[in-house]
Structure 1
Amino acid sequence: MGLAERRKAMGYSQERFAAVIGVDRTTVGRWDRGETTPEAVHRPKMADALQLGLAELDALLTPPQAHFSELTASPPCDRHGSEEIDMIRREFLRLMVVAGSLMALTPDDADAIAEIADRGSASDFRLMNCHLWQVYQLARSKSSVTAVVQDQLGALNEALKESGREGSLYEAAGDLFQLSGELSFDGNRYTDAAASYTLAANASSRARAFDLWACALVRHAYVDVYERRYSEAAETLEVARRVAKRGDSALSTRHWVASVQAEVHAGLQDLGACEKALDEAQRVADLTTPVHSGGWLRFDGSRLAEERGARYVQLGRLDLAEKSLKHALESNALSRGQSFRRRGAVLVDLATVGAKRRDAEQVATYGGEALRLARKSGSGYIARRLQALQGDLKVCGRDRRVVELNSEIGVLQEALRKE
């Protein structure tokens, strides 16, 4: 049974199912036809609506393995593109697995352990990785960075074949594996991302690079956070906290761990633990030296006001949420429009607060501004946040302003899909 059959068996039309999940009807149509797969943020609601566990839903959304004769038959023309993408993905993963395996191998003789590493090469890898992180952060299409990261993985494999167990190359590998995981995460390939972060953690632990190691664990936990598996994320983050304690106290690693723990505690509806974690994250302001690497660690606490507001939204503490979010909106960085993405997220959160209060005017004001910002900036992130907002709009009834906003968000989603 496929998604469409299960949906119909549960009594949902495409329109009603879309309203329950908080997406456009055309999105459900694409899911039914297998043209796209639901993002992780929608899957818990889908599982509830279809009365399935998340594992059962994943199995339902995974196409059955084709028969051998189908696999060897001449494919239709429109399959070539997807096959090419899948080939690139497999090669990407193969390079990571090979690099991880090379790091685990013990050299055959003692000479391989002594002074075989090219220190300049290790330094070059670190510099190139740092550059790749900068390119990744600036790239509008994150997938455009895949080819150059893949080349870097190939070069790393060759260096590892020559260098055996050289520690500084382990650190470079842990760094590059984290970036590879980010590319997979942005592409909604969460299992691939988790595999990349696992390799990153293993490489970083071998290098005894505690901050890099802790960051790999935090990113791994994010996969569970995104899928609302908060208990599993909490376990991973507790290990990350213990690893970060052994790292460089001048860096912001432990404070980043705390900020993500706050999100998990909010997901578990634990207000006290959430606020305690937020207070720990806020202590990043006490650090007097540069607090991040510019690559795999970018936490500087500048977003904590908006993050605190978002956590209060999760907890249903709308009074506290609104206060924090408005403070964030008035901060220097956001008021001067330096970050469309961040400002858009805050505006959507304020619109969400309005929806939960059934305040149509607040929804229209902040949601409308977020919509204009998404159009102006072309930000897919703001558009996705607006799409998630649609699920909360139905509680506002048939207020004209909210209905128009909901319709315009749908138009924006359709326009972005055509780009």
Structure 2
Amino acid sequence: MTQRRIGLIRARKLCGHTQESLARALGVEPTTIRNWESGRREPQPAFRPGLAVALGLSLADLDQALTPPETDGVVSERAGEENLQLQAALSATGSGHRVDTSMAASLHDRVRALCDQYDHAPSALLISEAANLHGRLVNLPTQTTDDRARRRLHHAAAEVSILMGQVLWDASARRDQSGPLGYFTSAVHHAEAAAEPDTLALGRIRAGMVTLYGQHRPDRAATQFDQASRDCQAPIAAFALLHAAESFAFANQRAACEAALESAETLAGHVDPADPHAELCSPRTFARMAGSCMLQLDALPDAIRLLNGAWVQRKKSNAIVLSNLAAAHTRQGDLDSAAAHLHLAIDELERTRSGGGMKAAATAARQLRLRGFPRDGEVHDRLISLMAS
């Protein structure tokens, strides 16, 4: 029995291609594209490089996109009862009373399953599914007469809006600011409607990140993070304060930075490790954020000590940690260690395609080159290859 290649279909739609336009780009018949997507035929080796270029994927990502749904590590197409419930919910938009709590819960579960993939998959492979769910969810809350279902739908819409903003921000290598901010604003709106203060705070934190890392406005970002730290649970408040500390570090306000770090650490000390948000203020997260602060403040020994305690995580942020370590070693004059950490960062980037990590690695590589490292060409070539793939 053939299986549809959901990843391939998703990648094609993400690039704005129809089956016909992709066929023209590759010089094949539309039936060839349909056969590839339906699983009836396998793209021959000669076609794969051109297909990867047309879809904006590396060959490794193309292989993943061609993986059948059952083994697709990103998101598989749901079947059975869940899809029946989902279709019932979507068809109910013309008669809102049919969207009940069970259907809302099914949609919310699907959003959370997709969110769980964020740290394990390239953002570009998540955008299409996230956009699909976002488009389905944003108007559903107004189409139900069930108050509990409405609140659940608003909550799901808030979470998928945050995810959509994250993957768009990441996939654009943090160049697109207005798009992600629009999604984070939508998340705040839906979280307020759902009366979910934790999700509201997370939406504000993500918006603050765009202000800090994209717009380079640390004073404005610090205000956003401070606002986000109020009226939410301790791990999320601590996460907001860690970012406030980084904002102060970017503004070279050491005393304010250290005060925010201390407040975050105090809050984190009261968090139950079993809390679903505990990772946001775990010792490793604290080390990653505090290490970044010390790097900005040029406290290099502290930065290296802290960052060495953070980089063992296999998360998208790992590439940023390793790149920051490379930058710290470069400033200390230990260029061999800097290059070694940059190679590790690129290893991570080949797996995750993290936009923030890509930017941090490029900055660290530029600093290494300016110091006259004799083998910087190896790092440079790997980065260029990665960016071109």
- Superposed pair shares fold, TM > 0.5: yes
CA offset digits 1:190-245 (Å, max 9, x no partner): 21000000010011112221110010000001101112211221222222123xx2
Structure 1 letter corresponding to 2:188: A
Residues matched between the structures, number: 294
Q: Could you tell me how far apart the structure 1 residues matched to 2:255 and 2:98 are?
A: 52
1:292-311 matches, cutoff 5 A: 292-293=276-277, 298-311=280-293
- Distance in 1 (CA, whole Å) between partners of 2:308 and 2:336 is 16
Q: How far 1:384 moved relative to its partner?
A: 4.1
**Structure 1 match to 2:123:** 142
SS in 2 for 1:403: coil
The residue aligned with 2:378 is: 408
What corresponds to 1:239 in structure 2?
227
Deviates more, 1:304-313 or 1:217-226: 304-313
Residues 373, 202 of structure 1: alpha-carbon distance in 2 compared, 3 angstrom cutoff: closer
Find the aligned partners of 1:354 and 1:293 in 2 and give their Cα distance: 32
Unaligned stretches of 5+ residues in structure 2: 1-23, 26-50, 57-95
**Cα deviation per residue 1:257-278 (whole Å; 9 max; x = unaligned)?**
1111111011111111111211
Structure 2: how far apart are the matches of 1:391 and 1:260?
A: 25
Question: How many angstroms apart in 1 are the aligned matches of 2:261 and 2:272?
Answer: 19
The equivalent residue for 1:124 is 106
Q: Distance in 1 between matches of 2:260 and 2:361?
A: 28
Secondary structure of the equivalent of 1:303?
helix
**5+ unaligned residues in a row in structure 1: which ranges?**
1-76, 86-111
Q: 1:157 to 1:288 in 2, by over 3 A?
A: closer
Structure 1 window deviating more from structure 2 (161-170 vs 216-225): it is 161-170
| Matched position secondary structure for 2:307 | helix
Output the amino acid matched with 2:208: A
Give the alignment partner of residue 132 of structure 2, picking from 151, 155, 164: 151
Task: Mark the CA change 1:367 to 1:154 in structure 2 (over 3 Å): closer, same or farther.
Answer: same
- TM-aligned CA deviation for residue 136 of structure 1: 2.8
CA contact under 8 A between 1:351 and 1:364: conserved in structure 2? no
Instruction: Specify whether residues 310 and 134 from structure 1 end up closer, same or farther in structure 2 by C-alpha distance, changes over 3 A only.
Output: same
Report what 1:368 is aligned to. Answer: 340
Cα distance in 2 between the residues matched to 1:83 and 1:203: 36
1:144 CA displacement: 1.3
CA distance in 2, matches of 1:259, 1:373: 23
Structure 1: distance between partners of 2:300 and 2:292: 10
CA distance in 1, matches of 2:107, 2:258: 39
The one of 249, 252, 255 aligned to 1:269 = 252
**Pair 1:392 & 2:367 matched:** yes
Q: Mapping of 1:167-316 within 5 angstroms?
A: 167-188=151-172, 189-227=176-214, 228-242=216-230, 245=231, 247=232, 249=233, 251-282=234-265, 283-288=267-272, 290-293=274-277, 298-316=280-298
Matches within 5 A, 1:377-388: 378-379=350-351, 380-381=353-354, 384-388=359-363
In structure 2, C-alpha distance between the alignment counterparts of 1:158 and 1:324, rounded to whole Å: 45
What is the rounded CA distance, in whole Å, between the counterparts of 1:273 and 1:226 in structure 2?
19
Q: Distance in 1 between matches of 2:193 and 2:239?
A: 22
1:236 maps to amino acid: Q
Give the TM-score normalised by structure 2: 0.66
Q: Which amino acid aligns with 1:153?
A: H
Q: CA distance change for structure 1 residues 341 and 201 in 2, over 3 Å: closer, same or farther?
A: closer
1:374-402 superposed Cα distances (whole Å, 9 cap, x missing partner): 24872444554332113323553x4xxx1
Residue pair 2:235, 2:277 contacting (<8 A) in 1 also: no
Contact preservation (8 Å) 2:291, 2:307: yes
3-state SS, counterpart of residue 129 of structure 1? helix
Counterpart of 2:143 in structure 1: which amino acid? Answer: E
